[in-house]
Structure 1
Amino acid sequence: MPLAYHLEALLKDRFGEDVPVDPAWPGLDRLEPIVKHRVIRRYSPRPMDEGLLRLICACAFSAPSKSDLQQRDIVIVDDPEIRRGIAGLIPDMPWIAQAPAFLVFLANGRRLTQVAELRGKPFPNNHFDLVFNAAADAAIALATAATAAEAMGLGTCPISVIRDHAGRIGELLGLPERVIPFAGLCIGWPADEGRMSPRLPLTATVHRNRFDDGNLPTEIAAYDRRREGQAPYRAQRDTTLWGRAAEYGWSEEKARHYAQPQRADFGSYVRGRGFSTD
């Protein structure tokens, strides 16, 4: 199958709508790993080469950074005791311990204050924008690392739930003031193909000139039906609290998920690490 048609088929599966791809457009081969993205949680025992990990880190930090401030770092966690400590905090995600490599991406608001001190300049910018920029830099780096890894045939699984245990993980990694964990990333050679996650249609998420979600209930209902047909959830969340739904799609899953407080103490943790959220 010509590459353009292959990409169209993948995008149709992902979004449930046609996304035309012109065969004459350049660089389609570089888009294929992005379009094919799947989360991988099972890995072969094949080890990760240290040089390959450093290459992935270099790719991650080749990505855009807000105003060239470079407010992100990576910790390669290869100390078995530290890895066990992190994995033990999150026992329902055994792939954290099993993946051949585990990286933690950090939002770093510390380096700029050090640079200001080194150059004898004031630093009046310890406000919400500092932590926001650092988190955005970390997110861009993580996404780029995953893309780079997948382009080489590796599989990845981001772990945002490390922020549920930010204080303890910060201790394990020796994080100083104004450096906080953003997310982890499992990396390894896939043991299976993983599963494609259908996404909301572009008609719901891509806007032209002005934001418009006036058709959201219809879009969500259609997406729920499509997702339940393509990638149904293996179990319903919190059935003792909410019962069993006859139709259980993405919207019911996420509504139940966020019906409970999520990281309500994270803001106080961030402030306690020297960031201001004003």
Structure 2
Amino acid sequence: MKSLADLIEDRFGLKTGAGADMPAEGELANILSHRSHRRFKPDPVADDLLEVLLSAAFSAPAKSDLQQSGIVIVRDPEKRRTIEALMPEMPWIAEAPVFLVFLGDNRRIRRVSELRGKPFGNDHLDSVLNAAVDAGLVLMNFIRAAEAVGLGCCPISVVRNHIETVSELLELPDHVFPLCGFCLGWPAGAGHVSLRLPPRVLVHTDRYDDSGLEAEIDGYDARRSARYRIPDEKQRLVGEYGLAQDYGWSEDKARQVSKPERTQLAKYLRDQGFKLE
């Protein structure tokens, strides 16, 4: 019988005794087996089921119970087509039966303050962070709920590359911003488990310590490439950096972040009424 230790090995590519005596079942097994899906069956997601998932999503923790998150269900065909056209390299947006946009919503609490005749005394950068974290927690709860009933999910962070257009399309008012898009549907395939960085890189005790990072990254690259080697045609920025013989995760991500992206976010947030000081 498969154990949680087996699932941990699948996730990190490293042997462990943790969870060896725990069967691979239940919520922990579902979490450890998480995978994103980008191919969907055409079958619809019932409205009642979507309501259940949304209820589960908003059962997530919220900073000080302020509940600064929201979701837009994009049902209008023309709005869907507009969003799809912004990201043509992601055909799964068009294929997913359901497309959502998760929001950070700092507007609601400001309105509550006004309704109750109180000043809003936290008009600074933390307003953005609190709303973003609340929305992220709701996002993760939604994923857990969707996967529990066999649905597939794919968050779309590239929405923030087009944040002004998406905000205008969805008529987002001041102090509300899109965190990410989200594809939801019944998976057309099994998907695959993405190998993650080893816990010893991610978890620290008493102090932050990345003194062994170079060796850990080299080992991670090797394990990940052994499972799935990035083909030459998917190497990034070949014209600038050349075709690498050893193109692993770290080379791919270093190339990805070498180019500025979303430099408009601070201006966008200020235009949405946020103060970032």
TM-score (normalizing by structure 1): 0.96
* Pairs within 5 Å for 1:33-44: 33-44=30-41
Distance 1:262 1:231 in 2: 27
In structure 2, give the amino acid aligned to 1:97. Answer: A
Partner of 1:271: 270
Q: Deviations over 1:178-232 (max 9, x none)?
A: 0000001101000011121100000111111111111000000000111111122
Per-residue CA shift, 1:126-171, capped at 9, x if unaligned?
1000000000111111111011101110100010110000100001
Structure 1 alignment gaps of length 5 or more? none
Look up the equivalent residue of 1:50 and give its one-letter code: D
Partner of 1:85: 82
Match of 2:168 among 166, 171, 193: 171
- 1:198–1:231 CA contact under 8 A, matched in 2: no
Q: CA deviation at 1:243?
A: 0.3
For residue 241 of structure 1, report the CA deviation from its aligned partner.
Answer: 0.7
C-alpha RMSD of the superposition? 1.3
Matched residues in 2 for 1:79 and 1:195: separation? Answer: 31
CA distance in 1, matches of 2:228, 2:116: 54
- Which residue in 2 is equivalent to 1:47? 44
Aligned counterpart in structure 1 of residue 183 of structure 2, from 173, 183, 186:
186
Amino acid at match of 2:238: T
Task: Output the CA distance in 1 between the equivalents of 2:36 and 2:229.
Answer: 16
CA distance in 2, matches of 1:83, 1:231: 33
CA distance in 2, matches of 1:22, 1:264: 46
The Cα shift of 1:28 comes to: 5.0
CA contact (8 A) 1:43 1:98 kept: yes
Residue number in structure 2 paired with 1:23: 21
Match of 1:75 in 2: 72
Whole-angstrom distance in 1 between the partners of 2:247 and 2:95 = 30
Distance 1:231 1:65 in 2: 38
Contact 2:5 2:20 in 1 (8 A): no
Determine helix, strand or coil for the equivalent of 1:227.
helix
Task: Tell me the number of residue pairs that the alignment of Structure 1 and Structure 2 aligns.
Answer: 274
1:93 & 1:58 partners in 2: Cα distance?
Answer: 28
For 2:26 and 2:114, how far apart are their aligned partners in 1? 46
* 1:104 alignment counterpart: 101
Determine helix, strand or coil for the equivalent of 2:230.
coil
CA contact (8 A) 1:197 1:231 kept: no
Q: Which amino acid aligns with 1:262?
A: E
Q: Hey, which bits of structure 1, 4+ residues long, moved more than 4 A?
A: none
Paired with 2:89 and 2:149, the residues of 1 have a C-alpha distance of 28
Q: Percent identity?
A: 49
In 1, are the aligned partners of 2:100 and 2:181 still within 8 Å (CA)?
yes
Aligned amino acid, residue 265 of structure 2: F
- What's the counterpart of residue 248 of structure 2? 249
Once residues 52 and 75 of structure 1 are traced to their aligned partners in structure 2, the CA distance between those partners, rounded to angstroms, is 16
CA deviations over 1:36-86 (Å, ceiling 9, x no partner): 111100001111101111111111110111111100000111111111111
The equivalent position to 2:56 in structure 1, one of 40, 59, 64, is 59
1:196 matches 2:164: no
Q: TM-score, normalised on structure 2?
A: 0.96
**Aligned-pair CA distance for 1:99:** 0.2
Q: What amino acid does structure 2 have at the position aligned with 1:56?
A: L
Deviation at 1:124, TM superposition (A): 1.8
Q: In 2, distance between residues paired with 1:130 and 1:233?
A: 39
